[in-house]
Amino acid sequence: MIFWSIVLIVVGGIAWIRLAPSNPEVWNVDPMVTADQDLAGGVRRRLDGGREAFEALDRIILATPRTELLAGSAADSRITYITRSKWMAFPDYTTVELDGDHVELYARLRFGQSDMGVNKARVEGWLAQLKAQQGS
């Protein structure tokens, strides 16, 4: 009986993580990036680039496996995406905002306290693709 109770709790927890609703009002927020930051549960980046870089980054992010749009649009100058981990489908959120001549990114986890560098690696990969596309 105890074994099955534990199994039920574990399965229920995994189901909640995979199926929990994502409220755009909670996640589609101003990244407030003043400088590059590496955080335990995510990363903040600010780069030079206007609308062209913002829209190119949007295309790069949407081409990422297991990534979908949560809220916003290029016309709004703020977009938030959900990227899910491969095996457990844990959600990570990335908000990208065009702030004048700068593009701000804030990638963070939803559950837990540390993402073990996953968001940093993902964002650095996106920025490398952007740099390659821009030819610089």
pLDDT for position 17: 78
Fold of 22-134: TATA-Binding Protein (3.30.310)
By three-state DSSP, how is residue 10 classified? helix
Q: Which helix (H) or strand (E) holds 92?
A: strand 91-99
pLDDT for position 12: 86
For the record, the structure tokens of 135 come out as: 């030819």
136 residues of the chain, pLDDT tens digit each? 888 899 899 888 888 878 889 999 999 999 999 999 999 999 999 999 999 999 999 999 999 999 999 999 999 999 999 999 888 889 999 999 999 999 999 999 999 888 889 999 999 999 999 999 988 6
39 and 51 Cβ atoms separated by less than 8 Å: no
CA 108 remoteness from chain centre: 6
Q: Output the pTM of the full model.
A: 0.90
CA distance 33 to 51: 17
